Amino acid sequence: MAKLPLVALISGRGSNLKAIIDAADPLIEIRAVISNRPQAPGLLYAQQAGIATQIIDHKTFKSRLEFDTALQTAIDHYQPKLVILAGFMRILSPDFIKHYRGCLLNIHPSLLPAFKGLHTHQRVLQSNMKEHGTSVHFVTEELDSGPVIIQARVPVLPDDDEDSLAARVLQEEHRIYPQAIHWFAQGRLKT
C-alpha cells in the first residue's frame, strides 16, 4: 500500500509535528514541513527527521492573497494528499481552503464548537468551565468550524492556571492528532 503523502504547516515550536513524526505511522510520508516564521523551532524536528523544510515568511508579502498563493505553490510542489496545520498561526483565504477541501486538517485547543479562535485556555478559566480539551477538525472557510474528527477532554482543576491547563490539553493533542491522521490515511474520514 502506498504511503499517504502529507505536508505540515507550522508557525512555532512544532510539538504536534514532533508527536506526528514520533508516531512513525507506516501509512504516511511527511514530504515537507513549511513554516511562515523563519525562526520556528519546529523546523528543527523536521530537519532532524530528514524531512524537507521550507520557509515562506508571511511578512515578505504585500497581501494575504500573495502569501496564500506562494504557500499553495510550495505545498503543491510536494503533491500531498493531506495538508495539516500543526500550530500554523495564519488565517487562510477561502480560495486556499477550497483548493484543499477535504484534505486540510487542523488541531484546535478547545472542545469545538466552544471557544473558537485564540486564548482558549484563558477563556475556559474565566468561564469557570469544569472541562476543557482539544479537537481535530477539517478546515472550512469559517474559522474553527469544520467537521470535528476526534476530541479529547481534560478536567479543569481548581488550582489550574493557563499554563497547567494548556500542558494537559497539549498532552491530549499529541495523542489525538496522529490518530486522526492515521484514520485519514486508512481512508476512514470523509467530509
Residue 137 appears among annotated catalytic residues: no
What contacts 78, CB < 8 A, 6 or more positions away? Answer: 5, 7, 31, 32, 52
Q: Specify the DSSP class assigned to residue 177.
A: H
pTM of the model: 0.96
* The pLDDT of residue 108: 97
19-77 pLDDT, tens digit per residue, is 999 999 999 999 999 999 999 999 999 999 999 999 999 999 999 999 999 999 999 99
Annotated active-site residue in 58, 77, 108, 132:
108
Domains and CATH numbers, the chain: 4-113+134-153+174-185 (3.40.50.170)
Q: Does the pLDDT at position 1 exceed 90?
A: no
82-139 pLDDT, tens digit per residue, is 999 999 999 999 999 999 999 999 999 999 999 999 999 999 999 999 999 999 999 9
Q: What is the 3-state secondary structure (H, E, C) of 50-97?
A: CCEEEECCHHHCCCHHHHHHHHHHHHHHCCCCEEEECCCCCCCCHHHH
CB 152 within 8 A of CB 134: yes
What is the C-alpha separation between 87 and 79, in angstroms, rounded? Answer: 21
The C-alpha cell at 156 is 479543569
* The pLDDT of residue 23: 97
| Residue 187 pLDDT grade (very low, low, confident, very high; cuts 50, 70, 90) | very high
* The pLDDT of residue 190: 81
